[in-house]
Amino acid sequence: MTDASNLPGASTSQRAISRMLRQRAQEFLASRKHANNLVDIISHWDESTCPCLLTVETIFVEVLKRGDMYVEHAVTLTISEPSPESRYTTWLKNCYEEVWKKILATMEKSRLAIQVQALTTAMKLMAEEGKAPLEPRDNSGYHFPLHRLKPILMTLLSPEKDNINLISRFQEITYYPDALYYTWRCLPSLTPKRQPKEVYIKNLLELIDKIPLPKEEEVSKMSDNKELLCGPQQDAAFTWDQSNVKRALNKVWACVMHWELTPHLHKQLLIVLLERVMSHLEKPVLLTDFLMDSLDVNGPIGVLALQGVFILVTKHNLEYPNIFTKLYSMFEPEIFHTKYKARLFYLSDLFLSSTHLPEALVAAFAKRLARLTLVAPPEDILIILLFVGNLLLRHPGLKRLIDHPQGGEAPPSSTGAGDPFLMEERDPLLSNALLSSLWEIRVLQSHILPSIATAARFIHEPLPSVEYDMASALERTGGHLFENELKTKVKDIMLTFERPTSMALPKGEKLLQYWQITH
- The structural domains of the chain, with segments of one domain joined by +, span 12-72+86-136, 141-278, 283-321, 333-405+419-486
Cis peptide before 232 (omega within 30 of 0): yes
Dist. CA 379–CA 358, nearest whole Å: 29
Dist. CA 361–CA 2, nearest whole Å: 66
Residues 393, 463 contacting (CB under 8 angstroms): yes
Residues 334, 324 contacting (CB under 8 angstroms): no
CA-CA distances (angstroms) from residue 418 to 15, 332, 412, 429, 458? 80, 21, 8, 19, 25
Quote the radius of gyration of the chain (alpha carbons, Å): 32
Cβ burial of 252 (10 Å; 0-12, 13-18, 19+) is: buried
Q: Which residues of the chain have pLDDT under 50?
A: 1, 8-9, 75-77, 408, 412, 478, 480-481, 518-519
Q: Could you report the per-residue pLDDT of 40-99, keeping only the tens digit for each?
A: 999 999 888 899 999 999 999 999 998 888 777 554 445 567 788 888 988 999 999 999
- The confidence score (pLDDT) of residue 186 equals 94
Dist. CA 18–CA 35, nearest whole Å: 19
Residues 21, 28 contacting (CB under 8 angstroms): no
- The confidence score (pLDDT) of residue 140 equals 62
User: The pTM is what?
Assistant: 0.79
- The confidence score (pLDDT) of residue 75 equals 47
Q: Shortest CA distance to 178 belongs to which of 143, 148, 204?
A: 143
What secondary structure letter does DSSP report for 281? -
Strand partners, 233: 236
Residues 347, 307 contacting (CB under 8 angstroms): yes
- The confidence score (pLDDT) of residue 77 equals 45
- The confidence score (pLDDT) of residue 502 equals 56
- The confidence score (pLDDT) of residue 9 equals 47
- The confidence score (pLDDT) of residue 512 equals 58
Identify residue 63 by its one-letter amino acid code.
V
Dist. CA 257–CA 416, nearest whole Å: 44
